[in-house]
Chain A
Amino acid sequence: MFPYIGRLSSLRTLSVYIVRSKTGHNLAELHDLKLEGKLSIEGIENVSSLSDVREANLMGKKDLRELCLSWSNSGKTKTHANNAIEVLHLLQPHSNLKCLRILHYEGLYFPSWIEIHNCLVYLELRSCENCVQLPPFGKLPFLKQLSLSNMDKLRYVDVDESQDGVGVRVFPSLEKVSLLGLPNFERLLKMERGEMFPRLSDLTICGCPKLVLQFLPSLKDLIVIGCNSELLRPISSFHCLTTCLVKVTK
């Protein structure tokens, strides 16, 4: 990619931006670009200063609908990777964003802006291997699709224990969930409460050996790859199921 892309002041579509440590390739180049549609930022491990990250000005890009934030998957942790949570904190997009994907993020937690991002419809977290806990995504009112993959330490989707009682809806709009390669994943919700997953119709599970399913009354399509008897036991209560594919291994 050529340097100083920020000089193309009329640029509206930039599907991929690769951050490099060289001059003219930093995140501050995005500051004035009024980008719309999709943007994928790769090589975030190469950011050299937090002020550059702040200058990316994702908050000002109100016409962006899909954003992918990707760190390297080389496995080599660079000095600045320790700052991953601070970097992600500063990459807060405009609240108009609908689809968010975060790949190879090395932080233990996610910044709080994700949980208040009420317009999110699609959320994917992939290979965020240090992550131990997710924000209370169950409150996102319009979230329809959630995909979690290759996260070794994750045990629950939602650990929120603050809400309880009648009238609480957890993941009120969620329709489709994929759980792939989560070796320590135990349950969707740490604490069952209120009305849970009232619209969940499509669930794919692959490589989650410790998972125990909860009651999912609206489930229609279920794919289970790599299963055991414990995981299959609750299937008998999924009265709406129309398609069921079960497989021992990949």
Chain B
Amino acid sequence: MTSFPEGMLRNLTCLQTLILTNFPKLKELPNEPLSHALERLQISCCGDLESLPEQILEGLQSLRTIEISSCGLRSLPECIRNLASLEVLTICDCPTLKERCKEGTGEDYDKVAHIPKFGID
């Protein structure tokens, strides 16, 4: 599977937890906002997923936790700066992201510097 059916997540207005795991060929996520009730987003083992669409995290004022592991992401979306409730961001086994989020020198560090619990491995 390289993509999800269009509109799959669009109407899920109550969704609080979304876990996407082990889609090694997934290239993209639908570019549509997730549920405003979303509290936890976990994406793991999606080696071909190189970016998260900007829209997907837009306006998610309840989102508290994002966990990303073993994904091919090359950068973090801009809008991660605007997630007021985001408390936890963990990134694990994503070499490019690790480099970009390096404290002080990484290009994406200023996007995540405000997150109270930020962990990268």
Contact = CB atoms under 8 A, between A and B. Distances in A.
B4 A229 contact: yes
B53 to A, nearest CB: 17
Contacts of A247: 19-23
A163 B5 CA distance: 34
A117 B18 CA distance: 38
Contacts of A242: 14-17, 37
Given A243-B17, A244-B17, A236 B24 contact: no
B48 to A, nearest CB: 12
Contacts of A244: 12, 15, 17-19
B13 interface: yes
Q: How large is the interface on A (under 10, 10 to 19, 20 to 34, 35 or more residues)?
A: 20 to 34
Contacts of A232: 4-5, 8
A241 B14 CA distance: 6
Interface in A144-174: none
Interface in A215-236: 220, 227-229, 232-233, 235-236
Nearest to B9: A236
B10 interface: yes
B11 interface: yes
B21 A236 contact: no
B15 A241 contact: yes
B70 to A, nearest CB: 13
Contact of A248 (B1, B10, B11): B1
B12 A246 contact: no
A236 B16 contact: no
B60 to A, nearest CB: 15
Given A239-B13, A240-B14, A248 B24 contact: yes
A237 B11 contact: yes
B69 to A, nearest CB: 13
A1 interface: no
Nearest to B25: A248
Interface in B71-110: none
B24 to A, nearest CB: 7
A238 to B, nearest CB: 7
Contacts of A237: 11
Given A229-B4, A239-B11, 6 more contacts: A237-B11, A242-B14, A242-B17, A247-B19, A247-B22, A248-B1
Interface of B: 1, 4-5, 7-24, 37
7 closest residue pairs by CB, A with B: A245-B19, A243-B17, A247-B21, A242-B16, A233-B5, A248-B22, A247-B22
25 contacts: A232-B8, A235-B5, A236-B5, A236-B12, A237-B11, A239-B11, A239-B12, A241-B15, A242-B14, A242-B15, A243-B15, A243-B18, A243-B19, A244-B15, A245-B18, A245-B21, A246-B19, A246-B20, A246-B23, A247-B19, A247-B20, A248-B21, A248-B22, A248-B23, A249-B22
